[in-house]
């Protein structure tokens, strides 16, 4: 995972992923539990973390 790699957080515990994301300079981190509703607006600098059972299953910018 590089500092700005939005897709490199899958498999991490959510707490660790949030910590690393903030350390790597993401302006905002949005945690989305499984099945949660979310807005579809795109925000540069925001990292989205889809989480199941406390583990990131998908991550992306926007």
Q: In which band, very low, low, confident or very high, does the pLDDT at 3 lie, cut at 50, 70 and 90?
A: very low
pTM beyond cutoff 0.75: yes
Those residues whose C-beta lies under 8 Å from the C-beta of residue 12, and which sit 6 or more positions away, are 20, 55, 56
The pLDDT score that the predictor gives to residue 40 is 78
Report all structural domains of the chain as residue ranges with CATH numbers, in order of start.
14-61 (3.30.10.10)
Give residue-wise pLDDT tens across range 7-62.
899 999 999 999 999 999 999 999 999 888 877 788 889 999 999 999 999 999 99
Supply the Cα-derived Rg of the chain in whole angstroms: 10
């Amino acid at each position: 995972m590089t500092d700005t790699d939005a897709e490199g957080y899958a498999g991490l515990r959510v707490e660790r992923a949030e910590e690393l994301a903030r350390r790597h300079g993401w302006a905002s981190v949005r945690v989305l539990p499984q099945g949660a509703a979310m807005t579809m607006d795109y925000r540069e600098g925001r990292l989205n973390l889809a989480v199941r059972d406390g583990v990131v299953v998908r991550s992306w910018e926007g």
